[in-house]
Every structure is written in structure tokens, then in C-alpha cells.
Structure 1
Amino acid sequence: MDWDGSRVRPRRLRTTPAVRRLVRETRLHPAQLILPVFVVENLEAPRPIGSMPGVVQHTLTSLAQTAREAVAAGIGGVMIFGVPATKDAVGSGGTDPDGILNAAVGVVREEVGDDTLVMADLCLDEFTDHGHCGVLGTDASGRTVVDNDATLERYAAMAVAQARAGAHVVGPSGMMDGQVGVVRDALDEAGHDDVIVLAYAAKYASAYYGPFREAVDSSLTGDRMSYQQDPANLRESLREVALDVEQGADIVMVKPALPYLDVLAEVAATVDVPVSAYQVSGEYAQIEAAAANGWIDRDRVVLESLTSITRAGAGSILTYYALHAARLLG
């Protein structure tokens, strides 16, 4: 059909805010947002994280206050990361019922009940003195490696400890083979069959995690490329996601978010479980740095970035902007 200047005018649907709201295809809501929080053992006052302006390491008291703010803002949940005072080779603090992470889960659950989801990161990296996500061993050639199956035993114990502390959701994030199945079995056998498993199913060995290392006082030397995903690969991630769903994952996650929107879209088109994404510390830091220099409109970029993650297929998003974005969406 020849365009005659009168019929085909898509701009009609962009003329006013009211029209744009009516036909908007992707809608962002506070309930989709999950706030990652860091709590540090023996900390006397909240401590700012230099590479993440506006984000702090919490005390148990300030964490409880933030959890109340999360409920008031209507966001979907809080994902808790614990930073212990002491670490060891097997990450004992992760399974200690009185350890900082499990204590924090208990405090937050008591504070919010079922008014928002209390989520616990299920990984050993914050608790090990070597900073890896699992137990170290040696392979057949004598090299030091992360021992996959020995690590699974620790994850099983950690999942049960978190469930007993009051977690609604556990988030196995170490990218060990078989981790979701082991965690699901351990929870069910311990009578916690109602606890949700949010699997970090496609977690890439990304440089975007840099500021997170400061947030959790990481002890890592070297890298995690032998167990986290190669940034160059997509099919491999789809295989990882399929395995996690087969093993009982209730929700699957892609991490990071913005640099991997293609992966996120493929995952969302493939699975029949809810899909999440993590807007990680480096993504946050980039926005904050550019905004501090006056190069971007911070609030518009925050909402645009979160909308793009939703548009690509995420039903929920872990983001350090959760509370701020909820206020913007107000």
C-alpha cells in the first residue's frame, strides 16, 4: 500500500503521556524488584561501600529497618548476603545457625513475616578464606581446583540452615554441577519442601562483579572461570538452565543482566518457570559514576535499564535500585 500521508501514523500512539501509558507494552512494578543487602558481623554502624555510592554494609539493626522499608515500598523481596568476622577453608560460617547470614535471615523474617520474601544467597565465597565458591581440592594432575562434589555437601547443609533460619527463598549461586538437585533434595528431606529455590542458572564469569568484591570483603585471588560461565557462550547457558529446571529450580536467573539481555531473552523463551535477572554491582556503579559526572539523567536511566531487563523477559530483577525505583514508580 502506498503511504498517502493520512493512514499510517504510528506517532498517534505517542502524542501524550496518557496515550503512551495506555499502549505501553512493558510495565515495571515494585513487586518485581528484589533488593540485595549486605550484613557484616560485629559492625557497629552502617558502612558505606565506596565503589557503590548509596549502598552500605548493614548492621543487624539497620538491616531490619531496611527490610521494613522494603515492605512499605511494596518490593518483591530482599536477598541477604552475609559477611563473617572470620573465614576458613570450608566456609563454616555459612552453615553455623548463629553465623551472620543465618542470624540476619532470622532477624529479617521476624521483622517482616510473610509481607515480603526473605531470600538468602547460598554460596560459600563470602565465608571461605580463599574466596572461592566451594571447597578446594586437587585434580588428577595435582592442580588446586574447586571440588564440585565436596562443595555440594556444603551447599546442602547451608540450604537447610537457611531454611531453618526462616528463608522463604534460597539462591544457590556457585555454579556447581548438580547444585539445584542436591539443594532441593536436602530441603525436602529436612521438611522444608515449601522453600523456593531461585537458581543462579546462567551466571557468567564477569568483570561487572568488581564492586561486589568490596561489598563482601572478598578474599578471592585469581578468578572463577573454571566454574562460572564463559561470557562468549550462549548455548552452554541454555543447557545449564535446562539442567536446573530438570533438577527442580522454581525460578532461574541470568547474571549479569544488561550485558546478557540476549541470553535472558533466550532463557525466557525456553523455560516454563519464572525468570529473574541480576542487575549487578558493576552495572550500578556505571550508572552512578556517569550520573555523578552529569553525563546522564540518573533516574531516567535507572528506570530505562530496569524496563529493558523486563522487556527482555525477566519477571523479577535483583537490583540495588529496588527501593529507589519503587519510589520513582510511586
Structure 2
Amino acid sequence: MQQCVPILCYSRWKTLYQLITGLSRTNICPVVTEVMEEQTGSPAANTDNSQRNGDEKLRRGSWTKGRKRKKPMKDSNAPKAPLTGYVRFMNDRREQLRAERPDVPFPEITRMLGNEWSKLPPEEKQRYLDEAERDKERYMRELEKYQKTEAYKHFTRKVQEKQKGKRHRGDVGHQVASEALHEKDAEGKDRTVFDIPIFTEEFLNHSKAREAEMRQLRKTNMEYEERNAALQKHVESMRGAVERLEGDVMQERGRNGLLHQHLETLRQALTSNFSGVPLPGSGETPTLETIDSYMKKLHSVILSNPQEHESLISTVRDVVNRLDR
């Protein structure tokens, strides 16, 4: 006759669960061991669980971290890259602002400097832009000279060799990663998270690992939210600056339209009033298409010999007086 294994009733499981959640980690293992021995009738079951836990840890391995992006090769002999006008302004003002307000975080400083740049007077902003343009011209000259040197050719060969080696290693690594992925999938089919027995050391370790992961994810999420908030403020300030500039452009367009209309009216009036005043020598009279050149020629004729063209000057004065009325 087989020996029956005693089964814990619901009230004992509930009491055990409350006891486990109230104890520290150092006190959990003895309680779990006692319950498992009572359930199975032998401490050997706990030994099997420990061995199985060790196998599971070996199979699971450590949490995979994201790979860092490798920086591209830097040519130490290359000329220094030029800075934009905005970056030059940021470099000039950042240290001053940090000295004036040391309690302000870096994203807020960047936002404040962006606002300052958008509100900077055009003549002061142009100074930074001119410096950036001169620096860019300097960089292009130095780069053109550097590309003719032996050092540049040597650096180019090095970069090409590294890219060839990287492609070869990438093919091999892809093959190894595919094989490892197939092995992990096969192991995952044999055992999933739902197969972990409750109230065991393995279950507690798994829960703690997930909690640590969640804490890290919450922390990372909070950092990204703070950065997004700072960037959102900066975007809003830039959007306001763009709207103000668009308003200024619309006003200038309106003024240009009025000036153009006034210019056309003036051309028509000059053409009408000077139609009876031919140019000395050529006898040319103005039209709407030639009024500009006609006025230039008339002006040069009068200045070349005023005494000879006194009657023409008197006629021009009469025409101008009629225009003023």
C-alpha cells in the first residue's frame, strides 16, 4: 500500500503566505524548507529543487544589456570642424548663465539660451553668423589642403580596412547569434516562467529580478519624461519666435505692396507729365516701360550743361510743381 502525502488545506496555505510576505529573505528559506518537507515527507525534494534552480540559472544567464554604439574613427590630423553661429552664441553665454544661476539644470539652461538666441537683435546675431561663415571658409581651405597630404590617404586606407573587417565579423557574429537563438528557443519550449514552483527560492529570485528591472525602467522613463518636458518648452518658445517672424514678414510684405503701388502711380504721373518734354538731341519721349531710363538721361543732360538747358530746367520745375499739387 502506498504512503499518502499529506496535503495542506487552504487555511494553512493562507497562513504560510502571510508568514512568508512578512518575513525577511533570511527567514524565508527555513519556512519554505519545513513546508516542502512536510508536503513531500523528505528533504530530498528541496535538494532536487536547488539543483534544478542551478540548472535554470545557467540556462537563463544574465540580463542582456543594450550594445553601445561604437564611435567612428577620429582623424587627429584633420582640421578642426567649424562651429555654427548658434553654437558660438551658446558657448559664449553658457558659462556666464551657469555662474549667474548655478541652481538651474542643464536642460533649462539650454532652453533659456534658445530663447535668448531667438530674441537676439539682428545686428548682434549677424556677428555670430559672420564669425561662423569665416570659420567655415577657413575649414574648407584647410580641409582641401589636408586631403592632398599623405596623412589623409593613410587614414582613408585605415578606415576602409576597418570596415572590411567589421563586415566579416558581422557575418560570423550573425551566424553564431542565430544558432544561439535557436538553442534558447528550444530550451524555452521545455520550460517557461509559468513552470516555476511558487514559494521557492527560484520563484523569489525571479520576482526580485523583475522588480529590479521595473524600477530601472521607471527611472529611465522618468528621465526621458523630464528631457521631453524641457525639449517641449524649447519647441514652444521656438514656435512662438517663428510665429512672430511670420507676422513681421507679413507686415513687410504689406508695406512692400503699398510702396510698389505708390511707385507705379508715380511712374504713370511722370510719364503723363513729361510726355511733352522730348530729350535734347534724341527727341525721346517717355513711356511706362522707358520712364526710368528717360529720367536718368534727363538728369544727366541737365547736369552736363545747366546754362545751355535753362529752358528745359524751367519746364522740369513746372512739371514737378504740378506733381506736388
Relative to the length of structure 2, the TM-score reads: 0.17
Q: Which has the higher contact order (CA 8 A, sep 6+)?
A: 1
**Which protein is richer in strand relative to its size?**
1
> Quick check: which has more Rg, 1 or 2?
2
**Which protein is richer in helix relative to its size?**
2
